[in-house]
């Protein structure tokens, strides 16, 4: 390696070391804010967190770092494959960051800080009008952002889609969602017409302390090593952490909905296993963590839906649940439980949706984002458009903005282009599951009592690479073919046709 | 204010803002480490924490900050009293820091990092020999430090004493401890000869969940506002936080020692109230928080011992305790409980010592530190010297190093000169309590059910000043006279002579 490349690498690594150190501070701050800090505490440390962000921005845009990344990018043929990928990603991000005028960057951060509490309040009051002026400013910024980032090859919504998932675009997602719409909407309508049994037993009270005991039991099942994980509570379940040695999930316990905490736990532990199984050699690099949003979501959904809602899983783990909740589940068979946790129901809220209707919730957001960004839909008309689409795709009437357009936090945080990755993740999961099933007898592995074998397969084929390759390349190597959404469509059609006793077409 | 002073002030404040932001990171890291992070997590983030410390050191020693502090110090007559005091303190610290050769500073930080796990292991194995080489290096550094900091006015142990509590010295503490030794050792021996009732009921099991309920009850009594405080668990109880808006305490619950969690809670909430009642105007300055170690300890001990162990307190709050622990306390009168929580017992461990023997534990450490630093005691001879003094002052035989010389964490962290502030704090508390009793009917205030009136008195006379004045000046203004240890001696003699039915001499 040339001397000046060596020198650039040392500048780059020292800067990264400092960014990572501040990353610990950001992680601890958000973890504490979400799980434990009292209300007054959070608002009074805003200024300190702002200063840490300022220090982070100064590091990330420092002239010596910029020069170092340029030098390394120019000399990238001298670097090993992992470092070369890392530098390519960093170079791309640097170029994007430098196209944002610094005053705009600062003003947008401040706008988001102000928008968050307004969004929370507006959601509480189910009052979109209150939040609308902020969302208009956020959307305006995004439109200006798209102009700054415009290239001959890429413009508009494509730019944002590509930021959340490399090598995606409107063309790519349109094709995916068109297929899903064509295949799933009729199936959903046929199932809705058929209806579900009453499942009255599921509406009993399931004491929260017992639910927590069962989640501790699931920690063992999911190989979620207590020496480097934490399970805590928060308003909405999420996964956080500080690299492979510190992985944390939260849960939320509803006394009248025992399934909620169970599947949230499995979902978040799916995310967590990914973080825990990234190759240790990537620890101090920018290639730790998951390959992309969609790849992360594929891991949580594979565990939650394909493993956690399988009959084999419950034949193995239902006895422990039934024992804990003897009064409530005495007369509920494992088959009945399995049907209950796989019931399809057209509903209002994405995060509570079942596996089959979930992509339709995302489709709605995708279509609305496209229209917002190309100017064919005004922010103030969002609630109306939202209602229309929920009626059309899911056949439900939205009673108010809280259960409607204000339900998701993403837009208030400036995240446009994020939603489609949820569905793409589910589609990746189906393709990975298919490949896994060729290497392993998955049901037999599940019946061993833990997900050890499955987690090992995922470690070997996905997790260990971290973010050192593009997600589609990882998927290709793991499954032997490029992304193909038909695995997802077939998985859903097979599973739910069988569950509801319908012909496949 | 001159233009260049104005300019210096802006540099100073911007640097402080960044230091404070990193302070949030350090607080969150230590809080998380002490209360929740799994073992592997903690060791794997050492490097990140080290990098944050490096960034902090760079800020605290930046050339522009140094220049700014010098400019402000030179122009200090132009500053208001609060800022002038702040700058004087900063200037003093800067001068001290600059006398430490940078490689020595770094090497000592690394030594402490390595010493901590060895200390923990040595304590676990009750094996001083294992820790001895590290303590020798720590003590050697301290001796070099004293040479760097030596001035015509001040040398040796005085330098360290003054760092923990301004305007103290060997002469000052010798006088204090000589008085305590003379007055308290004979009293302790007379009480030991008299002995205690059996208190067999106290050795029952007191369920931890009920203990936690009582601590929640005490939160109300202590006016420990839930909107900006957290109560959690850790190995040893402590108070932490991030300014007046974020105050956190921990507790430790022993099923066979119900008094432990009660008095730990009151003690830590005493510290916490101090932090919560510092004038809001000091929020973003270097003068937030307590005035000194001793003044902080005076607030926790005043609440724990003078208020929390008073008969009026238990006449008010014993019924709730008795109700919670009906099976255990059914036949225990309030008077018997009050005697139990004020029993004197010569024991081995400082943190578990009663109010009367506590200063003797500290006296032993003070005498040993003096000898270590003036070279009349070798580190390897510490365990022997420790045993001798425990026999002499407390009449107890030290069975091993864990219950002996390894019991306290301070020396492994390089803190010499810290221990005496514990006793000085108790003495401040007695003098403040006397002044408070002239303004208030304390027992009547306690019988109101919360410490509201007492906390208000402390806010007015002590808390609101934060660290904006020297502790002795605050004490003088609050009590109308300079520090006088006779309040402390008289308080202890009166209280314990009465409790044990002894003549006062």
The answer to whether the beta carbons of residues A1 and A87 sit under 8 Å apart is no
DSSP character at residue B75: T
Would you name the residues of A annotated as active-site residues?
268
Chain B interface mutation, best of A20, A26, A32, highest count of B Cβ atoms under 10 Å: A32
Structure tokens, B34: 């002490």
Would you name the residues of B annotated as active-site residues?
268
The answer to whether the beta carbons of residues B401 and B126 sit under 8 Å apart is yes
Q: pLDDT tens digit string along A467-498?
A: 999 999 999 999 999 999 999 999 999 999 99
Mind telling me how many Å the CA of A237 is from chain B's nearest CA? 18
Interface contact A25-B52, CB threshold 8 A: yes
Q: pLDDT tens digit string along A18-37?
A: 999 999 999 999 999 989 99
Residue among B223, B221, B226 nearest B446 (CA): B221
Examine the pLDDT at B1 and tell me if it is beyond 90: no
pTM given for the model: 0.93
Distances in whole angstroms, Cα of residue B191 to Cα of each of A491, B202, B337, B430, B498: 81, 20, 18, 21, 11
Cα radius of gyration (chain A): 23
CA closest to A54 among chain B residues: B18
Examine the pLDDT at A505 and tell me if it is beyond 90: no
CA closest to B54 among chain A residues: A18
The answer to whether the beta carbons of residues A131 and A383 sit under 8 Å apart is no
Q: pLDDT tens digit string along B188-204?
A: 999 999 999 999 999 99
CA closest to A14 among chain B residues: B51
Nearest CB to A45; choose among B29, B230, B246: B246
Q: Which residues of A touch B245 (CB under 8 A)?
A: 40-41, 44-45
Q: pLDDT tens digit string along A438-455?
A: 999 999 999 999 999 999
Q: Which residues of B touch A56 (CB under 8 A)?
A: none
Examine the pLDDT at B230 and tell me if it is beyond 80: yes
Q: Which residues of B touch A226 (CB under 8 A)?
A: 38
DSSP character at residue A229: E
Give the confidence band of A39 by pLDDT, cuts at 50, 70, 90: confident
For position A102, what pLDDT does the model report? 84
Q: Which residues of A touch B229 (CB under 8 A)?
A: 38
CB of B51 within 8 Å of any CB in chain A? yes
Examine the pLDDT at A144 and tell me if it is beyond 90: yes
Rounded CA separation B192/B500 (Å): 10
Calculate what percentage of chain A has a pLDDT beyond 90: 92
CB of A199 within 8 Å of any CB in chain B? no
Rounded CA separation A73/A88 (Å): 7
Rounded CA separation A301/B421 (Å): 57
CA closest to A231 among chain B residues: B36
Interface contact A36-B229, CB threshold 8 A: no
* CB-defined contacts A:B, below 8 A: 110
Examine the pLDDT at B238 and tell me if it is beyond 90: yes
Give the confidence band of B505 by pLDDT, cuts at 50, 70, 90: low
Q: What angle do CA B338, B344, B349 make, to 5 degrees?
A: 120
Rounded CA separation B272/B238 (Å): 10
CB of A24 within 8 Å of any CB in chain B? yes
Backbone angles phi, psi at A216, to 5 degrees: -65, -40
Mind telling me how many Å the CA of B119 is from chain A's nearest CA? 22
CA closest to B29 among chain A residues: A28
The answer to whether the beta carbons of residues A237 and A250 sit under 8 Å apart is yes
CA closest to A245 among chain B residues: B41
CB of B45 within 8 Å of any CB in chain A? yes
Interface contact B28-A25, CB threshold 8 A: yes
Provide the phi-psi class of B290: left if phi over 0, else alpha when psi is between -120 and 50, else beta. Answer: beta
For A:215-234, CB contacts with B below 8 A are: 226-230, 232
Q: Is the dihedral of CA B329, B331, B336, B340 positive or negative?
A: negative
Interface contact B32-A31, CB threshold 8 A: yes
Nearest CB to A51; choose among B21, B28, B55: B21
For position B152, what pLDDT does the model report? 94
Nearest CB to A227; choose among B40, B55, B227: B40
Query: How large is the average pLDDT for residues B68-86?
Result: 97
Q: How high is the ipTM of this complex?
A: 0.92
Q: Which residues of A touch B38 (CB under 8 A)?
A: 226-230, 246
Mean pLDDT of chain A: 96
The answer to whether the beta carbons of residues A88 and A76 sit under 8 Å apart is yes
For position B158, what pLDDT does the model report? 97
DSSP character at residue B206: -
CA closest to A248 among chain B residues: B37
Interface contact A228-B36, CB threshold 8 A: no
CB of B30 within 8 Å of any CB in chain A? no
Provide the phi-psi class of B213: left if phi over 0, else alpha when psi is between -120 and 50, else beta. Answer: alpha
CB of B384 within 8 Å of any CB in chain A? no
CA atoms within 13 A on the CB side of A72: 28
Q: How many helices (H) and strands (E) does chain B have?
A: 22, 3
Examine the pLDDT at A464 and tell me if it is beyond 70: yes
For position B504, what pLDDT does the model report? 67
Examine the pLDDT at B471 and tell me if it is beyond 80: yes
Rounded CA separation B480/B438 (Å): 11
The answer to whether the beta carbons of residues A321 and A191 sit under 8 Å apart is no
For position B147, what pLDDT does the model report? 97
Q: pLDDT tens digit string along A364-399?
A: 999 999 999 999 999 999 999 999 999 999 999 999
With H, G, I as helix, E, B as strand and everything else as coil, classify residue B17: helix
For position B390, what pLDDT does the model report? 97
The answer to whether the beta carbons of residues B113 and B125 sit under 8 Å apart is no
Nearest CB to A230; choose among B31, B36, B228: B36
CB of B209 within 8 Å of any CB in chain A? no
Nearest CB to A25; choose among B25, B227, B243: B25
CB of B29 within 8 Å of any CB in chain A? yes
Order of strands across the sheet with B239-241? B229-233, B247-251, B239-241
Query: How large is the average pLDDT for residues B433-447?
Result: 98
Nearest CB to B40; choose among A24, A47, A245: A245
Query: How large is the average pLDDT for residues B331-354?
Result: 96
Q: Which residues of B touch A20 (CB under 8 A)?
A: 48, 51
Q: pLDDT tens digit string along A416-443?
A: 999 999 999 999 999 999 999 999 999 9
Chain B interface mutation, best of A44, A243, A272, highest count of B Cβ atoms under 10 Å: A44
Examine the pLDDT at B267 and tell me if it is beyond 80: yes
DSSP per position, A405-474: TTS-STGGGT--S-THHHHHHHHHHHHHHHHHHHHS-HHHHHHTSSSHHHHHHHHHHTGGGTTSS-HHHH
The answer to whether the beta carbons of residues A293 and A274 sit under 8 Å apart is no
Chain A interface mutation, best of B14, B20, B25, highest count of A Cβ atoms under 10 Å: B25
Please report which residue ranges of B330-481 form alpha helices under DSSP H.
334-340, 358-374, 382-389, 420-439, 442-447, 452-461, 471-479
Interface contact B44-A246, CB threshold 8 A: yes
Nearest CB to B45; choose among A31, A37, A246: A246
DSSP character at residue B364: H
Give the confidence band of B42 by pLDDT, cuts at 50, 70, 90: confident
Mind telling me how many Å the CA of A302 is from chain B's nearest CA? 26
Q: pLDDT tens digit string along A303-336?
A: 999 999 999 999 999 999 999 999 999 999 999 9
For B:261-290, CB contacts with A below 8 A are: 284
Mind telling me how many Å the CA of B478 is from chain A's nearest CA? 30
For position A504, what pLDDT does the model report? 67
Examine the pLDDT at B446 and tell me if it is beyond 70: yes
């Amino acid at each position: 390696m040339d001397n000046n490349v060596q020198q650039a690498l040392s500048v780059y690594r020292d800067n990264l070391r400092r960014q990572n150190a501040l990353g610990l501070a950001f992680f601890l701050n958000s973890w504490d804010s979400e799980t434990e800090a009292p209300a007054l505490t959070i608002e009074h440390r805003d200024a300190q967190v702002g200063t840490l962000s300022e220090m982070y921005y100064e590091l990330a845009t420092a002239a010596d770092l910029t020069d170092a990344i340029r030098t390394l990018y120019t000399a990238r043929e001298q670097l090993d494959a992992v470092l070369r990928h890392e530098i390519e990603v960093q170079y791309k991000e640097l170029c994007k960051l430098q196209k944002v005028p610094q005053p705009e960057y600062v003003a947008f951060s401040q706008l988001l800080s102000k928008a968050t509490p307004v969004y929370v309040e507006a959601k509480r009051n189910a009052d979109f009008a209150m939040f609308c002026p902020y969302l208009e400013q956020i959307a305006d910024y995004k439109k200006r952002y798209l102009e700054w980032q415009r290239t001959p090859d890429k413009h508009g919504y494509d730019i944002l889609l590509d930021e959340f998932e490399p090598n995606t675009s409107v063309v790519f997602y349109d094709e995916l969602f068109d297929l899903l719409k064509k295949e799933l909407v009729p199936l959903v309508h046929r199932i809705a017409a058929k209806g579900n049994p009453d499942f009255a037993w599921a509406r009993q009270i399931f004491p929260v302390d017992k639910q927590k005991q069962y989640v501790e039991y699931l920690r063992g099942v999911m190989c979620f090593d207590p020496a480097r994980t934490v399970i805590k509570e928060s308003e909405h379940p999420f996964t956080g952490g500080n690299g492979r040695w510190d992985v944390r999930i939260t849960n939320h316990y509803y006394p009248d909905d025992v399934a909620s905490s169970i599947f949230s736990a499995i979902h978040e532990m799916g995310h967590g296993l990914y973080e825990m199984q990234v190759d240790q050699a990537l620890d101090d690099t920018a290639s730790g963590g998951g390959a992309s949003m969609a790849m992360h979501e594929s891991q949580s959904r594979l565990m939650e839906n394909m493993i956690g809602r399988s009959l084999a899983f419950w034949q193995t783990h239902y006895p422990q649940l039934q024992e804990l909740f003897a009064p409530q589940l005495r007369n509920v068979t494992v088959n009945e439980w399995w049907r209950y946790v796989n019931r399809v129901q057209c509903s209002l809220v994405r995060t509570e949706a079942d596996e089959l209707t979930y992509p339709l919730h995302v489709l709605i957001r995708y279509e609305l984002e496209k229209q917002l960004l190309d100017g064919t839909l005004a922010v103030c008309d969002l609630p109306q458009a939202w209602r229309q689409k929920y009626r059309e795709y899911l056949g439900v009437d939205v009673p108010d903005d809280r259960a409607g357009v204000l339900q998701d936090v993403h837009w208030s945080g400036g995240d446009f282009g994020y939603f489609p990755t949820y569905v793409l993740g589910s589609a990746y999961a189906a393709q990975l599951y298919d490949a896994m099933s060729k290497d392993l007898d998955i049901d037999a592995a599940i019946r061993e009592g833990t997900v050890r074998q499955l987690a090992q397969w995922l470690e070997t084929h996905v997790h260990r690479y971290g973010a050192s390759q593009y997600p589609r390349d990882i998927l290709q190597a793991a499954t032997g073919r490029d992304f193909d959404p038909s695995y997802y469509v077939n998985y859903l059609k097979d599973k739910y046709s069988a569950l509801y006793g319908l012909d496949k077409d």
